[in-house]
Amino acid sequence: MRKHIIAGNWKMNKNFSEADDLLNDLMEQLENVKLPRETQVIVCPPFPFLEMASDYANDSYFLVGAQNVSDKESGAYTGEVSAEMLASCEIDCCIVGHSERRSYYGETNAIVAAKVDQLLKHDLMPIMCCGEVLAEREANRQFDVVKSQIEEGLFHLSADDIKRVVIAYEPVWAIGTGRTATPEQAQEMHHYIRTLLAEKYGSAVADEISILYGGSCKPSNAKELFANPDVDGGLIGGASLKADDFMGIVTA
């Protein structure tokens, strides 16, 4: 059975004590809910708070992820953080290919592929984001865009390796805008992604890969989105910054 995952992407928010308060609140609330065994809760705070989050993560369904990683192994790359460093600090996973990294920092599909390779090499789970911008959806190009992101970012992997990847479909027009994809739009794209995976790797492999939805997901719409057969949870931005909102989504 594939994992149901709720991952919080804090982006560049919170200072040290705010991060500690949020983690404390989250842990208190997590202790009081009984989640199904296949559920995983992930928080992805900024780099300086990863160790703090890791100290809280004494539980098998609570994982800690980074928001970025270098595509290089090591060396003279000032300001970069390698997958090996993350692994040595017991970080479990990392977001790659987020639309903000693609649009503000020039993260191409080739760079995403190299980051995925670094993460897998060091035994971290990549959460690989894909999704179209509004103009692409309006031109009905969303499937082509997502197809090239998936093919160029992931299809060099073996069947064994792609099973270690989580995919997040995040329509860019829904990120931080308050405008969510409808459950039908989400299911349609998630089904399309699973079909691409099945064509390349076979349906047994495709059925094992969790595909998360991201884009203005909140407690009020999470249940409807997650009820779809190909939606295996969510990557949550804004609503991951408040314990009550995030837990409202986790329990949905």
Catalytic (active-site) positions: 98, 170
Chain residues 131-170 in contact with ligand PEP, contact rule CB under 6 A: 170
Among 217, 222, 225, 231, binds ligand PEP (CB under 6 A): 217
Report yes or no: 130 and 170 within 8 Å, Cβ to Cβ: yes
Distance CA 71, CA 44 (A): 18
Q: How far is the CB of 33 from ligand PEP (least distance, A)?
A: 21
Report yes or no: 90 and 125 within 8 Å, Cβ to Cβ: no
Question: Where are the extended beta strands (E) located within 104-251?
Answer: 125-130, 166-169, 211-214, 233-236
Q: How far is the CB of 173 from ligand PEP (least distance, A)?
A: 10
**Residue 50 vs 181, nearer CB to ligand PEP:** 181
Q: Does 214 bind ligand PEP (CB under 6 A)?
A: yes
Q: Does 9 bind ligand PEP (CB under 6 A)?
A: yes
DSSP code at position 89: T
**Residue 83 vs 217, nearer CB to ligand PEP:** 217
43, 83, 159 from 21: Cα distances, Å: 14, 27, 40
Q: How far is the CB of 237 from ligand PEP (least distance, A)?
A: 2
Chain residues 222-241 in contact with ligand PEP, contact rule CB under 6 A: 235-239
**Residue 19 vs 206, nearer CB to ligand PEP:** 19
Distance CA 58, CA 55 (A): 7
**Residue 168 vs 206, nearer CB to ligand PEP:** 168
Extract the tokens encoding 175: 């990120």
